Chain A
Amino acid sequence: MAKVHLPRSLVTLFPAPPPRQVELQAASLGELIDQLEARWPGMRDRLCGSGPGIREHINVFVDGERERDLTAQLPGGAVVHVIPAVAGG
């Protein structure tokens, strides 16, 4: 199981907000996105654009390492952090 940490600014976009920490069975980052989408429809569009990867200003860390490739494999017990880039004004 992967433990996924979701940012507040993401979960509040959904009428039935996901918890900030979710445990999912996923072999790859792409599968993890698929599972998030299945549980909270529309989440894929918030995390991924129309191209093959994560949105430019969304950072995903797998066990502390930044990862953008949806085909990247998730080790057992992976801890995944989804963190919006620091920006704004």
Chain B
Amino acid sequence: MSRRVQLLVGTRKGAFILESDADARREWQVRGPFCETWPIHHFVRGEGGLLFAAGGSAWYGPSVWRSDDGGSSWSQSSTGLTYGPDEPEVTTIWNLTPVDGTLYAGVEPAGLFRSTDGGRAWSHVEGLRQHPSRPEWQPGAGGLCLHSIAVHPADPNRLWVAISAAGTFETIDGGATWQTRNKGVRADFIPGPPPDFGHCVHKLRLHAERPDTLYQQNHCGVYRSDDGGRQWTEITGGLPSEFGFPLAIHPHDPATIYVIPHNGPEAGRHMIDGHAAVWRSRDRGESWQQLDDGLPTSNAYLTALREAMAMDSLDPAGVYFGTSTGQVFASSDEGEHWQLAADFLPPVWSVEATLVED
């Protein structure tokens, strides 16, 4: 049996697959670009090995691409990806999340869709856009996008979504009704008392083994919630910056998380002082360790966007991140050592790591 790690990389100009032997994870072969070089915000593996890539073309609109043969051939569909004729056009898809036969899509302008036929047809989860706060949702610098979808592993009717810049929302009834989940999260760009919504979440994640624990990298810090988002605790202390985009959780240890601090929203939004580094916490954000062995530590003005960090499920786990200047960096030992897996790709928007056995 052959075991390989595949990195599914979404870029501004198509999807790519980086592949390596699962034991070594040192030599990476690059295939692509797929999806006719469309802008691809997210590229994931679904059940049965199906590949899904999603994004939006400035000419042809939003679409979800599907490959049943590992990337050799592709089809695309956007049937049902609409708010209706009198509502804003869906322009692109930011996140795809496959869960137990259902595929969720988070889109711009912010909304949630789901497909139960493998991405061929979509239905709008209308309850979210019926939330009373919706007329006041404001876009972040990336647009008004629903970029994070987290589904409770034991209760498919319970899920959280995050919208930039509206905040985190939770439903316990399959999407019919939603509640804001932003208490304890700063929104320094909104004057006055702490708001109920309007927060700029950059990435929200949960761990399947401890689903009441959520983490988020926010415009204004890094946070953990231990009660499903009802209350958040800031865990920025020890990091060199509160600002960053991606966040990853260790696949076998919900207490271990990774972030990539950037220098700030008005300072270029790149890694601090041109020094590339990933930061890891082994204790749920109580303390942090800088990891940069093998990363460029000078003159590296790199940006890692919100969907561009992922981990594989091996032991030790691999950590991967892509940059807006086309590099993909890989660590096969939980971030202790890094190497360049690919360079000169288009701007990387997303990275997912999957294990392929055949």
The interface of chain A, by Cβ under 8 A from chain B, is 9-10, 12-15, 42, 45-47, 49-52, 55, 57-58, 84-85, 87-88
Residues of chain A lying within 8 A (CB to CB) of residue B63: 13, 45-46
Residues of chain A lying within 8 A (CB to CB) of residue B344: none
Is A49 within 8 A of B73, CB to CB?
no
Is A50 within 8 A of B83, CB to CB?
yes
B262 to chain A, nearest CB (A): 23
Known: A12-B36, A42-B76. A50 touches B59 (CB 8 A): no
Is B36 within 8 A of A45, CB to CB?
no
Residues of chain A lying within 8 A (CB to CB) of residue B81: 45
Which of A13, A14, A85 is most buried by chain B, counting CB atoms within 10 A of its CB?
A: A13
Segment from B84-92, B176-184, B240-248, B269-277 that makes contact with A: B84-92
A-B CB contact pairs (8 Å), 20 listed: A13-B36, A13-B60, A13-B63, A15-B73, A42-B77, A42-B79, A45-B78, A49-B61, A49-B82, A49-B89, A50-B82, A50-B87, A50-B89, A51-B85, A55-B60, A57-B58, A57-B59, A58-B60, A84-B60, A88-B58
Residues of chain A lying within 8 A (CB to CB) of residue B116: none
Is B84 within 8 A of A50, CB to CB?
yes
Residues of chain A lying within 8 A (CB to CB) of residue B59: 9, 55, 57-58, 84-85, 87
Closest to A14 in B: B75
* CB 8 Å contact bits of B85-115 with A (1 = contact, 0 = none): 1010110000000000000000000000000
CA distance A52 to B84 in the complex (A): 11
When A and B form their complex, what is the total count of cross-chain residue pairs whose Cβ atoms lie within 8 Å? Answer: 53
CA distance A6 to B64 in the complex (A): 22
B17 to chain A, nearest CB (A): 19
Known: A55-B60, A55-B61, A57-B58. A45 touches B79 (CB 8 A): yes
CA distance A80 to B77 in the complex (A): 25
Known: A50-B83, A57-B58, A58-B59. A42 touches B78 (CB 8 A): yes
Q: Which of B58, B61, B78, B90 contacts A87 (CB 8 A)?
A: B58
A53 to chain B, nearest CB (A): 10
Closest to A42 in B: B77
The 6 closest A-B pairs by CB, nearest first: A50-B82, A46-B60, A84-B59, A49-B89, A57-B59, A45-B78
CA distance A47 to B57 in the complex (A): 11
Residues of chain B lying within 8 A (CB to CB) of residue A50: 82-85, 87, 89-90
Sample of 19 further A-B pairs with CB below 8 A, known A15-B74, A52-B85: A9-B59, A9-B60, A12-B36, A13-B63, A13-B76, A42-B77, A42-B79, A45-B61, A45-B63, A45-B79, A46-B61, A49-B82, A50-B87, A50-B89, A51-B89, A55-B60, A55-B61, A58-B59, A87-B58
A70 to chain B, nearest CB (A): 12
Is A9 within 8 A of B85, CB to CB?
no
Residues of chain A lying within 8 A (CB to CB) of residue B89: 49-51
